[in-house]
Amino acid sequence: MADLIVGVQWGDEGKGKIVDNLAKNYQYVVRYQGGHNAGHTIVVENKKYALHLMPSGILYPNCKNIIGNGVVISLEALYEEMQQFPNLEKRLFISDRAHIITPYHQILDSLKESHSKSAIGTTKKGIGPAYSDKISRVGFRMGELKNLDAFSNKLQNYYEELKPLESLYNITFPTPQEIFANIKNLQPHFLPFITDTTRLLWEALDSKQKILLEGAQGSMLDIDHGTYPFVTSSTTTAAGASSGTGIAPKELQNIIGIAKAYCTRVGNGPFPTEENNQTGELIGQKGFEFGTTTGRKRRCGWIDAIALKYACKINGCNQLALMKLDVLDGFSEVKICTKYQYHGQIIDYIPSDLENVTPIYESFKGWDNTFGIRDFKQLPIEAQNYITTLEKIIGVKISIISTSPERDDVIFL
């Protein structure tokens, strides 16, 4: 049996807290896509853990954590993150099919962003170029670290292909020898953890162990179904959980969508409910809306129920977790986008050109004092009405509500 946690907005929904909260009930937690451009912040007894590649189950000693084949890995970033946690043997497993982000990928990412007239607003961490090389069948995989001579030769050939770009961009790439020296130093730290994780997961399923799958980013950043081209380079939806782990779709049982009680977005691209004003500023300040990975300020606005319903449909969500309800404390009025105005028509669906819609809102009386509450009946009636209305619009049961950054401040319904 495998359950899935998936973001149903533009990322940064608070997936890490929910995975952390549920992980104690699972034998395996698996990260299935994305790279270190994403991050989860988990607060345990006032201590913050910022996870970028490590699965969120790492905070439970008895949980086995897998980085699946759909992930792209920066060796430097993963090694640094591993240093936070002792005794990783038999607790961490890395797919031999997962692709490696080299310094070349990071340079290419930065060049594209800085020289393009239509920059996406990436983190410049090499994610897109690494996935591009994967699709072009010229990428580097974790399993290749077992044969350093072959890896060195492949790196040399890759460098030769890049050299014409030096004159085009007036730069000098690091030599393959420089890059290989660093990889050679890091290699021994990863070898004990590299394995066939797909086979490991099949064995876990056969022995009836419980598996929790977690993705990065959110469904509205999906390469196929998101706000293209302002998206990430991987499949962030439930479909990516299967391709990124080797677990068949029929094995997925519960698919839990994660959304904030409002909405945020990082980087460029359409965001219909953005409040580029004092309201948006206040939401951002109260929610501490700065990227875990980059520290970039997030764009903030009211919740978009049309986008939520769309994302829940794509993923097949049968439950929804609503995060950061407490951030809306103190507003005299809160809003839900329930329809769009689109080329003179009123619609209730997501068009492919989302930048051409104008949100239509329903307004609700605000509330106060939801911080830290763990019982739905103790929430202000206005907050209860907001949640039940949202649930009806989306058509998915809101089964989890988070009321503070703390690990245990969660309402289960």
Q: Which of 3, 20, 36, 40 is catalytic?
A: 40
Distance (Å, rounded) from C-alpha 12 to C-alpha 219?
A: 11
Alpha helices (H) in 72-175, listed in sequence order: 75-82, 103-115, 127-135, 148-162, 164-169
- Using only C-alpha atoms, the chain has a radius of gyration, in whole angstroms, of 22
| Active site annotation includes 40 | yes
Phi-psi label, residue 309: left if phi above 0, alpha if psi -120 to 50, beta otherwise: alpha
Around Cβ 126, how many Cβ atoms within 10 Å? 26
What is each CA distance from 323 to 8, 29, 32, 222, in whole angstroms? 12, 21, 22, 21
Structure tokens at 69: 């084949």
Q: Which of 3, 12, 109, 409 is catalytic?
A: 12
The secondary element (H helix, E strand) that includes residue 308 is helix 305-315
Place of tokens 């209730």: 348
- Beta carbons of 245 and 252 less than 8 angstroms apart: no
Q: What is the DSSP letter of 69?
A: T
Structure tokens at 233: 């380079």
The residues that are catalytic are: 12, 40
